[in-house]
Structures are given as structure tokens and as C-alpha cells.
A and B are shown apart, each in its own frame.
Chain A
Amino acid sequence: MTCPLCGLEFEINANTRCTGCLLKKGCEKICCPRCGYETVVESSLVGFAKKLFGKRPAGST
């Protein structure tokens, strides 16, 4: 994903998960490894809807 603040392109992995607080198990936020800007991963509702309706990347065949 691309950080909306500093523009760094990075992969989501264990190191980019926010593990700051005691709520870390429930917190789905991602922290940019360069600037620390936090953002969210795709909602599970959106993921479920895509799975349900079989949405594929735009332009795919």
C-alpha cells in the first residue's frame, strides 16, 4: 500500500501493524514504516462484499 501522507510504497506485514496500546489485538491500523502515519486496512465488510459479488481487479478478464 502507499502511505497517504509521505507517499512511501510498502507491504503490510507484522512490522507495520500498530502494536502501541493494550488494544492491539482489536486495532486494525497500519503504520507507515517511514513516517508512522496510521491508516486502516480494507474493511472486512468491503472484503466480504467483494467476495460475495466476485469483484476482481478492474480491467481483469
Chain B
Amino acid sequence: MALMAFLMTKAALTAPAGTQETSVVLVGNANVGKSVIFSYLTGKYVTVSNYPGTTVEITRGKARDLGPGVEVIDTPGVQSLSPESEDERVTRDVLLANPCATVLLVADSKNARRTLTLLVSVLELGRPVVIALNMSDEARLRGVTFDADAFSGITGIEAFPTVAVEGRGLDKVKRSLLRARRCPSPVLYPQAVEYAIEALSASLPQTNISSRAVILDLLTGESDLAALLPESVPAEFWTMVAHYQEEIRRACGRSSAAVISGARRAWVEQMAARISHTNERGAESWADRFGRWSMHPLWGLPILVAVLLAVFWFVGVFGAGTAVNFLEKTIFGAYLNPWATSLVNLVPWSLFRDLMVGPYGVITMALTYAFAIVLPVVGTFFLAFGALEDSGYLPRLAVMVDRLFRAMGLNGRAVLPMVLGLGCDTMATLTTRVLDTKKERVIVTLLLALGVPCSAQMGVILGMLSGLAFSATIIWVGVVLGVLFAVGLLSSKLLKGERSDFILEISPLRWPKVGNIASKTLARMEWYLKEAAPLFVYGTILLFIMDRASLLPWIEKASAPVIKGLLGLPREATQAFIVGFLRRDYGAAGLFVLARDGGLDAIQIVTSLITITLFMPCIANFFVVIKEHGLKAAILMGLFIIPFALFMGGAVNYVLRGVGWIG
């Protein structure tokens, strides 16, 4: 396959001019919005395929409104076209294989130097270029200006400020692509280099790439272009290349590669100074300042607490209060459940009626819990989480958590799975594969299963805690963090190894967009219902069967010493722990209903929440632990976690009753 890519590139280089298809190739640094502009230029129907011989994906589509048969090719994000990585090699090869292509350079308006560095590489190839100065809104907010008119005046290349996600400026870019023309490379090289280019050009056979670009590349001595040149290149040409490399070294006192890259860098610096400016007053906007504070070891903490309180209030008061009341009492209580009951009562079989609308009915319990209790709570949590995600706060939170976990004594590499566990413990368990030793992987998996509640469970827990005094939340947070801290300290004693940081791109803070939040929240709620609702139904059927087989009263009686004696909970709470093993949030929802109906006092609520938080997350997590670490390790973890969770719950129960806390 690599050979095929090589032959394709070589064939395109030597094909007669005019036989190649017209195309637009999108080139740019990573994360500058190429994909959005690609979608704009092509519409919906695109082909995604690996570039031959590589794992790098290239997206192709037919251009809309750029003439018949014009193809648009999106390339991977690159820093330059010197093939130091597979992405850069593929991008360069795409440009070489499409000699009639117009290059649309998608640039980050905030970073002129990075843009100009890449531009030099593209111009050397002799391709027509148009520049989309993307994210110009963010540049303006940060006080950065890129003078597109001055730049076009100097270089002859058209450049347009754009905000791709909003479609701003893209129409001008599209029109410019139709009239783009080749511009000579603006870089002035020392005389020795220019002389070498002139002398070597005469001996180089004509290809579809500018001979200046080929020779400059060969002179650097770091090129792999030589293999792509036709066999008709005379042997003495290579001797001349070596000779001129030596001449340049003698004349300039540095290697030809250093001389060439130095000239390019000098042009980039000079041009950046002329066309890009930073307004000192606007250099640090409120967003910059706030973003910086939010990562600060001291100021970041009150911001983190404020964010958590806002989420707590929104989920607890609005989600678990107003929204649950409306859905459960009005929609389900007054309409859906009575209608379903009267409809099911038409069926003559009592077993079916009980299964649907009885105390453990699929409609009256499973669907009511899923739609009327858990959905509004996790829905509001997803809404708040979507806002945090879209604002750019999450990478900053990760930096903060990294610091906290380091202070707790956890190995740095364990931080990432722990952070991801707040989304889904099952998926986070898979990311423990990044850890080096089996011992590390097992301990982090244990920590995840033990003390990191997933997003759905977190929502329901916040909903329950919001009905109590704030001290209840402090107790819950304190106990869970205390357990993590203790196990973290233990793990730091057991685990050796160097810290390996993970790289985060800290994007600027911005006001979250309502459309993005709504779209993500809908997607998460849809995902949640697809995943959780079936398990709620299975859990309810399990309870129904246990009840019918008189197993439930027997289990409640058998577990009474633990549930009633140790945890101080009513026997009905046993059911929450049974279904909690299928999904912790289902168990938490059972406790929520019990608490709301007056079946639990403040101490019982805190005790039950701590116990269920420290319980195994869900059956999916248990299965993935088996998959990753084997049945024996999974059973051993379960044998540690379940008694430990009950022990901690019991300890909290006795301590709170002992000190007379009333919540």
C-alpha cells in the first residue's frame, strides 16, 4: 500500500500538464476549523478513506458551486509540510499528487506565525493559495488583529477573516477560490542559495512541482523527494547538489538546511510584525483573566466551588424539585399511570396486570422512575454539564483535578481515568489500559468502581442532597473524597513510576452557545434513555419475580442485620441495593422515592447515599472489569467493595447518630 501511494504521487508528479483533475485542498494547523469549512464547501455527501499505506484519513467530497467535477480534499492538521510525521507526509503527498489543486489555507487568526510558517511551505510548491483567517471573532476578543488587506497587498494572496462555525466570510472565500492564482514564494534566500537554485534548475527534468521547491528541498538534505523524481535525472545532478550544499555552508557558515529554514523564519517574523498586532489593552480580556484564575491552585478552588454550587442548585432545586414534581405528579400521576392502569385492567390475566401496573410494574415503577424521576434530574445535570463543556471550562477543571489528585498522592497517570469516570465508569475502566503495570490498572479500576460516581448517578445524588441541609453535601463529599484519599495514599505507597502528563489544549473561555447545549443535552438524554430504560425494566421484572416467588421478603429479612442493624435503614431500602447493582442511579432513584415519601430521615439519606456511591457502579462496569482483569479479579473487587461500602455506610450512620446530627 505504501508503494501504491509512492507510485501514485510519482505518476502525478510526472503526468503531462492539464491531465489532472481540478481540486481544492484544505490545509491548516490542527483545530482551526478545516472540517467545518469542508462541510460548507461540499455539503453532505463525502467519502472518508485512509490515505494508501497509512492510517491517516482523508476526506473527499464534490464541491458545491465551484464548477462541475471540482473535488474538495480535507487533509490532517499539520505544522508544516516537511514530512516529520505521517500526517505531514500525507498532506504533502496530497498536494504533490494534485498539481492542479488550489490550496485553501485555513488559518487561526490568533496565531499569525504558525499560519505564515505553513504558508511558506505551500507557496514553495507553487500552488495557488487562498487564506481563510478563521476564528477571527476569538482573535478580536483577544485583541489580536491580522491585517488581511495589508497582507494581500504585500503578497498578492487573498485572505479573508472568517468565523466558520457561523458561516461568516465563507462566501468571499468560495468566490476567491474561483480566481486564485499562483504567487511566487516571498522568501529571500542568501545569494549562495539563489545561485545554487539557478544552477541546479538547468539539470532538473520538468515535473508538476516547481523546480525551486524541489531544489530547496534537496538542498536541505532532509528530503525524501529524491525518490519521487523521474529516473531521467542525471547522476551528476546529485553530485552538483552535494557540491552546492558545501558551497552554501562555506558562504554562510551554517548547513544549507539551517540557512534555508533561517531565511523562512526571518520572513515569517518580519511579515508577522507587519500584519499582525496585539492590542495591549485587549490582550487580556475578562475571559482570559477568568480562564487563568480558574486554573490557579488558589483562585481556582473558589471558582470550582462556585461552579459546583451553581450546578447543585440547578439540578437539585429545578431538576429534582420542580421538574420531577411536574412529571411525576402531573404527567405520570394524574394522566399516564391512571390511563395505563385502566387500559391494562381490560386484560383478563392478573399476572400481566400486576407486571404492568402493580407495585413492581413496568409502567408504574420502571417507566415512572426512568422518565419521571431520573430523566428530569439527569437532564438538568446534562444541561449544566453541556454549558460547562461548551464554555471551555472542562480542560481547566481537569488541570485543577490533576493538582488535587497529585496532592492526594495518586500517580499522575491515574488522573485521566478518574476524571473520565465522572462521565462513565465503564468507559474509564477501559482507559486504565494506558497504565504500565497490571497492579496499577487493578488499583485504578478499584478506585473507579469504589468512589467515582458516573454522571447519571451524580445527578440523582445531587437531587437527593438538595433537599437536606448543606452540611449533608459536605459530609457526602468529605466521606467519598476521604475514601479516595486513603486509597490514593495506599496506592502511592504501592505504585512506583514516573508521572506522565497528558496534553490538553486550553482553548479560550467563551459564552456557551444555546444551540450547542440543547443539541448535546438532547443527544445525551436520548443516549441515557436507550441505555438506562431497558435496565430499569429488567430490574423491575427481577423485583417482580422475587416478589412473586416470595424471595424479596426473604432477602429483606436475611439482610435486615445489615440494612436495619448496621445502616439503620428501613427494610424497603434493600430493593434499592438490589436494583442498584444493575444501575446505581436506579438504586438511587429508589432511595429518592423512599426519602420523598417520608421513609428516610436525614441520617438515613446520607448513609444510604454514601453506601450506594461506594457500591459497584453497575452491571456493565462489572462485566468490563471481568473483560479487562478476569473473573477472579472482578469477584475479589466485588468482595472488597460491597462489604467496604456497607462498613462505611454503617460507620457514617453510627457517627452521625452519635454526634446528634439532624441535617
Contact = CB atoms under 8 A, between A and B. Distances in A.
B171 A28 contact: no
Interface string A12-31: 01000010111100111101
Given A7-B395, A20-B430, A29-B427, A37 B523 contact: no
A36 B165 contact: no
A52 interface: no
Contacts of A39: 389, 520
B644 interface: no
A22 B427 CA distance: 11
A2 B31 contact: yes
Given A2-B31, A4-B394, A59-B40, A43 B168 contact: no
B623 A22 contact: yes
B523 A43 contact: yes
Contacts of A28: 523, 526-527, 530
Contacts of B527: 27-29, 40
Contact of A44 (B390, B507, B526): B526
B423 A38 contact: yes
Contact of A11 (B59, B165, B428, B430): B59
B31 A21 contact: no
B111 to A, nearest CB: 14
Nearest to A45: B522
B170 interface: yes
Interface residues of B, number: 59
A41 B522 CA distance: 10
Contacts, number: 126
| Chain A residues touching B, majority SS | loop
B171 A61 contact: yes
A31 B417 CA distance: 12
A31 B620 contact: no
Contact of B502 (A6, A29, A31, A40): A6
Nearest to A36: B431
B83 to A, nearest CB: 20
B519 A42 contact: yes
Interface of B: 30-31, 34-36, 39-40, 43, 48, 57, 59, 64-65, 77, 165-168, 170-171, 389-390, 394-395, 398, 416-417, 420, 423-424, 426-431, 434, 502-507, 519-520, 522-527, 530-531, 534, 619-621, 623-624
29 contacts: A5-B394, A6-B504, A7-B395, A11-B48, A18-B427, A20-B426, A20-B429, A20-B620, A20-B624, A21-B426, A21-B623, A22-B619, A22-B623, A27-B530, A28-B523, A29-B427, A34-B503, A35-B502, A36-B428, A38-B424, A40-B524, A43-B522, A46-B522, A46-B523, A56-B43, A58-B167, A59-B40, A59-B168, A60-B167
